[in-house]
């Protein structure tokens, strides 16, 4: 036990048995850590207040713990690749279109010469038109029943009334118009239907 009359700022007070050796009196009212303890920590200071140093170390320790526990921000999602838009192919457009009345001819003309020089065959899918080139392939649709047939132009005509095309007996049968004799039709020509070597006549 230290003597009751030992002053607090004396070296004997710091060396007493009931006072921790980790602290020494450096100035009146100020207690500091021993320098050798601070050197071990890598700090070279003198006269640092124990309470302030303890608070700073506690704050740094808490900050380090929070930084270690904090989850890293998730990486930004990769941009989605652009979706290729499908290319919509438009409906082929006819190079020639005409609507009107169709008629047909058969046995009375079978075996005769046509305007193209061919022999007329009533059982072949052919037709006569006023302006389409010979050997042109035309699509003929019966507007009454929706039936369609393909014919090859090899003759000229018809020249009666408002008729626009004269079909062979075979083509008229494909359109189911033989009994009626006449039918409202639509004539269309497409490049994809045409063969090579179409005559210019």
For the whole prediction, is pTM greater than 0.75? Answer: no
| pLDDT tops 90 at residue 33 | no
| Percent of residues, the chain, with pLDDT higher than 70 | 61
pLDDT digits 0-9 by tens, 47-84: 545 566 667 777 777 777 776 665 566 677 777 666 66
**What pLDDT score was predicted for residue 90?**
72
User: ω into residue 158 within 30 of 0, thus cis?
Assistant: yes
Q: What's the whole-number mean pLDDT along residues 167-171? A: 97
The CA distance from 94 to 111, in Å, is: 32
- Per-domain residue ranges of the chain: 11-66, 96-193
**Superfamily of chain region 96-193:** RlpA-like domain (2.40.40.10)
């Amino acid at each position: 036990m230290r003597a009751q009359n030992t002053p607090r700022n004396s070296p004997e007070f710091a060396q007493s048995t009931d006072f921790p050796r980790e602290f020494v009196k450096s100035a009146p009212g100020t207690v500091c850590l021993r320098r050798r303890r601070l050197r071990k920590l890598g700090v070279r200071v003198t006269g640092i207040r124990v309470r302030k140093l303890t608070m700073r170390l506690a704050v740094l320790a808490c900050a380090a713990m929070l930084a270690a526990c904090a989850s890293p921000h998730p990486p930004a999602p990769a941009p989605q690749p652009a979706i290729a838009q499908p290319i919509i192919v438009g409906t082929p457009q006819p190079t020639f279109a005409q609507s009107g009345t169709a008629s047909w001819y058969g046995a009375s003309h079978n075996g005769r010469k046509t305007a193209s020089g061919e022999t007329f065959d009533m059982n072949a899918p052919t037709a006569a038109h006023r302006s389409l080139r010979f050997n042109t392939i035309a699509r003929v649709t019966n507007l009454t029943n929706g039936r369609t047939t393909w014919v090859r132009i090899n003759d000229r005509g018809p020249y009666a009334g408002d008729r626009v095309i004269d079909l062979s007996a075979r083509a008229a049968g494909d359109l189911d118009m033989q009994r009626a004799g006449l039918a409202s039709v639509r004539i269309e020509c497409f490049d994809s239907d045409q063969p090579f070597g179409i005559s210019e006549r």
